[in-house]
Structure 1
Amino acid sequence: MSVLIILIVVSILVAGGFLAAFIWSVKKGQYDDDYTPSVRMLFDDKPLPDTTTSLKSKQK
């Protein structure tokens, strides 16, 4: 039974270490997106309506 308690304590310590590493990496800017802002202007345009379907509907 004591082995189970030791394993639970060790697993909680490991999980806390991973949580601390994650928080540290977020504070240091590891997950900041540097690429998307430079190409965001390429994705802001709305797609043009399909002219072939609108021409077909006008011809009928």
Structure 2
Amino acid sequence: MSVLILLIGFSILIAGGFLVAFIWSVKKGQYDDDYTPSVRMLFDDKPIAEKKSSLTPKQK
């Protein structure tokens, strides 16, 4: 029975540590911008310039 109480106390201590770490990261601005990382890969490359077509309007 004493082992169970020890494990419950230890798990509450670990959970409290995670809660403190989460609150600290929120206050430091870790989660401020949640949109940009999801679309960053779309804007990494410079746009490719379109090549002028050598076809005349009649050939299109």
TM-score range, shorter chain: 0.5 to 0.7
Shift of 1:2: 0.3
Higher helix residue share: 1
Structure 1 ranges of 4+ moved more than 3 A: none
Structure 2 residues not aligned, in runs of 5+: 37-60
Q: TM-score, normalised by structure 2?
A: 0.56
> What does 1:1-60 correspond to in 2, within 5 Å?
1-33=1-33, 36=36
- SS of 1:3's equivalent in the other structure is helix
Q: TM-score, normalised by structure 1?
A: 0.56
Structure 1 residues not aligned, in runs of 5+: 37-60
- CA displacement, residues 1-58 of structure 1 (integer Å, 9 cap, x when unaligned): 000000000000000000000000000000011755xxxxxxxxxxxxxxxxxxxxxx
User: Percent sequence identity over matched residues?
Assistant: 86
- SS of 2:30's equivalent in the other structure is coil
